[in-house]
Each structure stands twice: as structure tokens, then as C-alpha cells.
Structure 1
């Protein structure tokens, strides 16, 4: 582990009557236009706390850059209504990226990192014209037919929180030590979105399908997935690997859908290996440069 003092800045950007909460994490101030900006987009029914450990690891590994965690509309500390389509969520995040870039908080060297539905949002952002340099998809998919059975549970509004918390607990039980399980059990309730936001996320996922469009994403893509993931099915991982025009992939043995939480070190290693191909610097830039 490299030793750098991490700096955290929490704030909010208002776009389309949505207050989008974000956290910037750096191991020093970003002082040059060529620094890398990582934008971490969390998955459905959750909030940016799920990406907190990965944000810290990226900030330490890339002290010349900056890591931004964002809460989706209606999630976490963001203010405003939840949205019912991935396209609408992407439209808000595109405005967020534009605002952050205009203010000089984001550099032009943007790397999009999305977990689960967050990866789907990142794919939509690329197709909507966001100029990211690389796209990193963690346990993601171009469609979510796997979520249809959950969406058809009777009275889902009333049982959504309990149902999703149970799903998360069951996912975490796989390939994890009792000590790690205990720690995660305390975090799961804090990571969850409201019932209404979760319902809207589920509706957005079930309607989403970009399988015919992702061939149009031409930037380098990294697909990271677990071979024990029943949510972002292996079929979809293979489809993305065979469809993107410039793609790398990393399979994490034994991993489930929660790679961004349970497999941070493996995910970081995959990202480092991927970005080394593009000379993404992890060297600290002195203040007088």
C-alpha cells in the first residue's frame, strides 16, 4: 500500500432540478490538465457508499489524479426525484459531467467506472456523446432480463427493502470470511437506497436494452466480472467481450455480483493492468509543476 494522505471533498451540483451529491477523493491536489479523473457510478438500489473502498484505492494508486463518487438522482445524499429510465439518469449525469468539467474539477482525461446498473448508465453516457477516454464495467450488462422475476413480486413496494437486503446478504455469504461478513452486515443497510428509488431502478433495468447499440462504443473497454454472478449473467459478459471493438476482460474466480465491494483489490489490479496500456500516470505531480 502506497502512503498518501487522502483528501475528501463533499458537495452538490444542481442540474435539471436535481441536486447531485458527490465526493472527490485525492491524494493531493490535481494541478495539471493531463491528470486522470475517475467517475465512479454505483449500481441499482444502492448509493455511492458501495464505491467508497474502490475510490480510496484508486486515489492512492493514482495520486496524480482524482476520483469522484456520485450519488444517482434520488439516491444517497442527492436531492430530487428518482428517475425511471437509464436514459434519463444518463442525461442528468451528462449535465453533471459538463458542469464539473466547466468548473475545472474534472479534467479531459475522464475514465468512467460503473458497477452493475452504473455500468449500463456509463454505456449510455458513451453513446450520448460523453468524451471519456476509457470505460470500465464492473459486474454490468447491456440488458437486465435477470431482474424480471424480482420486478414481478407482488406488493414489491412494501417488501422492497427486506427483499433486496436479503438478496445482498445471500450474495455476501459466498466466498467470504466470518469477519468480513460481520463488517459487511453493518454496512449493507447504509448502502441501500429508499424503497421508491429501488423500485424505479428496477423498472429502469427491466426496460433497458443496449445490445444492438454497444458496438458503437469505440473507446477501450474493460469488462470485469465474477464467474459466480447470477445477476449480470455470464451470457451478457461474453456478449460484451465479443461485441465491443476494443475490449479487455478480467474474470474474478468465485466472485458474485458485488465485486465493487467484496473484490476491491482484484478490481484495482485489473484496472491498473488495463490502464497501463494507455500510459495513464500514477505518479504524483509536485506542486510547483
Structure 2
């Protein structure tokens, strides 16, 4: 099995993988691209026999699709999301490789898409008749009543262009999919998005995800059916932007502070502190630390000085480690602290030297 994909956004941006629903292609995420690709390197893939991906004849599972995604993302850490079947693949990826997935967006999807018989029946009929008979059925499930033709027709065209056997095999994979008893194993920061009028994955499916995944947030989009990201594009784009909008900031935060520190900080996030964590990631790391006017060595010098001046010794220890990661030598850190003795006061510098010496000994 080979999945074809396309990349958009800055080459040095953090990676975001987005998966489509059954019967659609990478274009299902077009409404979100202008916003997300400003800071993320967005990888969108096509399912087997959909869009640019070759047709298949052999059975596959949702886990097989997840392994394929992991294969073409290399070894880097990334965020992943998907709508419907693409969301199921994203969930499987997050469980197969929790150390690789930082953020998870589950849009109009489920940990189990109902009893298997209807999916097997659909697969059998598609094998016998093709996909043309599905156009009216899925449109009624994908969109609310009275959807504009210019919104529905492109996805109907995608469906009609899908290889019938590949579609049927995907139905078989959905029939066998059930991760409800494994949701507690998801460690990624998670956003669950649901359409309030979605007949394919009703709100209770989203609630099962949000309640089962530790720390997950649930957002319900009004007047939206199954393809909420198309039908209510602005609302879904806003939700994803706010949740993932710290992409560049998170990348910088991890590079400066290290994965271990950031993972500990994120693991301790609660509903009470989540907005503050988002704030510092967006603005401190995404807006200030990523500005081109100063290199990171210089920013570390400024930060050490400010922390000494204000007496923030816990933060100072963290940023001594960050300064080493940013390329400052112990001797250069010593020079910064000597400078603070003159301009911030000897007692402040004395305490700072104690913190720095402890950190440098630990690092060595």
C-alpha cells in the first residue's frame, strides 16, 4: 500500500499531518490551509484509491494506514488530525507512536463507527454497483439540509472518482475498527470537534472520545453535519488555529528548553492552566523567541539578565540549561552573571551564581 501526499507551508515549520474522510481527497482540508500553512508544514494524504493514491486489492486495517503515515513522516515529532476515517487514522497513530505525536485533532470522527454489519453491506454493494449510488446518501449525511451546491458538488465528484474496491476495503477496515478501550493511552494534547447535526458520528461519539482521552477538549460546531470543516469552515478553522496556532512557538519552545521539560509542562496542564500555557507558547515562544532581530544566544543573555534582576531563580535554572542549548558556554554564562552583579545588585548575582553552578554541575 502506498499513500500519496502533498506538502504546504514553510519548510522549517513544525509538521502537521491531516487525513481525509472516506470518499474525499486532500482537498477536503482546503478551507483550513490558508490559516494552518502560515506556521505549519502541512502534509495532507489521500486514502488508498482516493485522489492521487494508487488503488489497492488487498485488505488493510486502520492500523495499517497509521503505520503508512508513520513511515512517510520519518522520525520527527509532529501534530496530526483528521476528519472521519482520517480522524480514526490519526487516533491510531497517536496510540501506535505516542512519543512522536505532540497534538491530536479529531474532527467528526469516532473510536468505533457503530456495528460492523452496515459497513460490510455498503462494501458489498459498492463492489457490485460502484460508488455512484452513494452520492445522494453521503451528501445527506455530510451536510445539513439546504447545503449550497458549490459546497456539495466537489466532494460528490471526489466520491465518484474513488476506486470502488479501495472504497470497499476501507469500509471493511472501518467495520473492524474499535479503539474505545484504548483511549486512556493517548498522551497527545487533544482537541475533539463535533458537528451538532452529524448523523454519521453523532455527538455521543465525540463525547466518548473527549471523556476517554486524558485532558481532551471538546468543541461542538453549531449547524454542522459530518464534514463540519467544509460546511462551517470558519468555525473549524478558528478552533484548529487556536489549538494549533502555537505551532512555531511549540517548535521554538522544544528547541530551547528541550523535549523533556516541555513534555513535563504539558503533562501537568489542567483546564485552569491550559489557556496560560497556550498564551506563553503563542506569544513568548511564537512571537518573541522566533523574531529574526536577535539570535537565540543573545536572547538567552537578555533572558538570564532579566531573571536575575527580578529574582526568578526557578526560571533562571531552566534558562541556564536553555542558554547551554542555545550555544552559550559556561564561561559566557559566567560573564552574563558578572554583568548582573553591577547592574542588578550583588545579592541577586550571588543567588544567581548559586543556581547556575548547580545547573552546570548537573549538566556536566
Shift of 1:186: 4.0
Q: 2:236 aligns with which of 261, 264, 267?
A: 267
Quick check: which has more Rg, 1 or 2? 2
Question: Structure 1 or 2: larger strand share?
Answer: 1
1:167 corresponds to 2:167: no
1:155 corresponds to 2:125: yes
Gaps of 5+ in 1: 1-17, 102-106
> 2: distance between equivalents of 1:139 and 1:236?
9
Query: In the alignment, what sits opposite 2:39?
Result: 64
1:38-187 equivalences in 2 (<5 Å): 38-59=16-37, 63-79=38-54, 81=56, 83-98=59-74, 101=75, 108=77, 110-130=78-98, 131-145=100-114, 148-153=117-122, 155-171=125-141, 174=144, 176=146, 180-187=148-155
Instruction: Give the TM-score normalised by structure 2.
Output: 0.63
1:205-224 equivalences in 2 (<5 Å): 205-224=174-193
Q: Are the aligned partners of 2:19 and 2:87 in contact in 1 as well (CA < 8 Å)?
A: yes
> 2: distance between equivalents of 1:120 and 1:286?
39
Name the CA shift for 1:52/1:247 in 2 (closer, same or farther; >3 Å): same
3-state SS of 1:112 partner: strand
Shift of 1:263: 1.9
Name the CA shift for 1:261/1:207 in 2 (closer, same or farther; >3 Å): same
Q: Are the aligned partners of 1:146 and 1:232 in contact in 2 as well (CA < 8 Å)?
A: no
> 2: distance between equivalents of 1:282 and 1:53?
23
Query: In the alignment, what sits opposite 1:9?
Result: none
> 1: distance between equivalents of 2:188 and 2:154?
38
Query: In the alignment, what sits opposite 2:3?
Result: 20
Q: How many aligned residue pairs are there?
A: 254
- Two-structure CA RMSD over aligned residues (Å): 2.7
3-state SS of 1:134 partner: strand
* Greater relative CO (CA pairs within 8 A, separation 6+): 1
Gaps of 5+ in 2: 247-276, 296-364
Query: In the alignment, what sits opposite 2:319?
Result: none
> 2: distance between equivalents of 1:155 and 1:215?
36
> 2: distance between equivalents of 1:50 and 1:287?
38
Q: Are the aligned partners of 2:21 and 2:85 in contact in 1 as well (CA < 8 Å)?
A: yes
1:197 corresponds to 2:166: yes
